Amino acid sequence: MAASGTEIATLIVDGREVKAPADHSIIEAVWHSGHAQIEQIGCMQGVCGSCRVLVRRKGENTVNPALACETLVEDGMRVSFIHHDDKARVDHHYRLSEITNSWDAVNYIDERFPEATDCRHCGGCDSACPRGLQVELAVSLASGRDTRAKDPVQAGKLFEECIMCDLCTRACPEDIDPNHLGLLVRRLSASLLLRPVNLLTRLEEIRKGEARIEYDSGPASSDSPEQLEH
Ligand code: SF4
Ligand code: SF4
Ligand code: FES
């Protein structure tokens, strides 16, 4: 468990000793200690997946994936940043314009990701996912051997909070790229289904020049406009 914010935690990050207040994230701790960590950092909000790390906590034998921008430091923690470019990946090329009929979607997915049917259900992708997504289930729903159990739409929903950190791909012994399979099913779902009605309404407002953007910049007042018209 992390200590209170006033305590100083000592941890090892990529072999370097780092000291930082215990309310700092791993990335903040690296900066606090004077190191110039500028690669593998993006949004700082747990969204982009750039800052993936492996973490072993004091007294534990297991190593777990995490995001360095949102994981608080702990005394005795050992951290390794995981680089993105050291696994050869198969590129999956596709054009959404090639498929206009949703009846063909299941076959299309199998043709573009044939290796996904070789999933051995080892759970490696689930263990690797710092978002706690049901990756193995989503792979089965998108492209499993059992055709009657397939449900690409549901698979797309399971991948909705994927941040494309690639950890599931690295963990997979069958060289399946679960997150890229997930991206395809999400894209197919979006391109083949009706658009959300609130999006349609918003686009129509923009087309008519009626769209208004509201900025929350303090207490509203009748003589200080808080809205811009577009
Ligand atoms: S599904 Fe894969 S790429 Fe997406 S967040 Fe989980 S581990 Fe990262
Ligand atoms: S890691 Fe690969 S083989 Fe294992 S369950 Fe996930 S997709 Fe299937
Ligand atoms: S910097 Fe984007 S997820 Fe951590």
The domain that holds 181 is classified in CATH as 1.10.1060.10
Alpha-carbon torsion 126, 132, 138, 139, what sign?
Answer: negative
Helix, strand and coil content of the chain, in percent to the nearest 5, comes to 35, 15, 50
Give every residue of the chain whose pLDDT is below 50, as ranges.
1-5, 220-230
Contacts of 128 (CB under 8 A, 6+ apart): 65, 135, 167, 168, 170, 171
Q: Give the per-residue pLDDT at 85.
A: 66
Regarding whether 107 and 188 lie in a shared domain, the answer is: yes
Regarding whether 71 and 152 lie in a shared domain, the answer is: no
Regarding whether 46 and 18 lie in a shared domain, the answer is: yes
27, 47, 81 - which closes a domain: 81
Residues lining ligand 3, judged by CB closer than 6 Å? 41-44, 46-51, 67, 69
Regarding whether 75 and 108 lie in a shared domain, the answer is: no
Regarding whether 100 and 170 lie in a shared domain, the answer is: yes
Taking CA atoms only, the protein residue closest to ligand 2 atom 3 is 119
Widest CA span in the chain: 65
Taking CA atoms only, the protein residue closest to ligand 1 atom 8 is 165
Regarding whether 108 and 58 lie in a shared domain, the answer is: no
**Does residue 198 fall inside a structural domain?**
no
Q: Which residue among 38, 47, 53 has the greatest number of ligand 3 atoms within 8 angstroms of its CB, and so is best to mutate?
A: 47
**Does residue 204 fall inside a structural domain?**
no
Contacts of 71 (CB under 8 A, 6+ apart): 25, 26, 53, 55
**Does residue 56 fall inside a structural domain?**
yes
Instruction: Determine if the pTM surpasses 0.85.
Output: no
**Does residue 65 fall inside a structural domain?**
yes
Atom of ligand 3 nearest to the CA of 44: 1
Q: Which residue range forms the structural domain that includes residue 29?
A: 8-81
**Does residue 219 fall inside a structural domain?**
no
Q: Which ligand is nearest to the CA of 159?
A: 1
**Does residue 48 fall inside a structural domain?**
yes
**Does residue 221 fall inside a structural domain?**
no
**Structurally, how many domains does the chain consist of?**
2
**CA 161–ligand 3 middle distance (angstroms):** 14
**Does residue 50 fall inside a structural domain?**
yes
Regarding whether 112 and 77 lie in a shared domain, the answer is: no
Atom of ligand 1 nearest to the CA of 128: 7
Regarding whether 120 and 58 lie in a shared domain, the answer is: no
Q: Are 227 and 210 in contact (CB under 8 A)?
A: no
Regarding whether 173 and 118 lie in a shared domain, the answer is: yes
Regarding whether 168 and 118 lie in a shared domain, the answer is: yes
Minimal CA–CA distance to 126: which of 159, 92, 83? 159
Regarding whether 120 and 75 lie in a shared domain, the answer is: no
Regarding whether 149 and 69 lie in a shared domain, the answer is: no
Q: What is the CATH number of the domain that holds 61?
A: 3.10.20.740
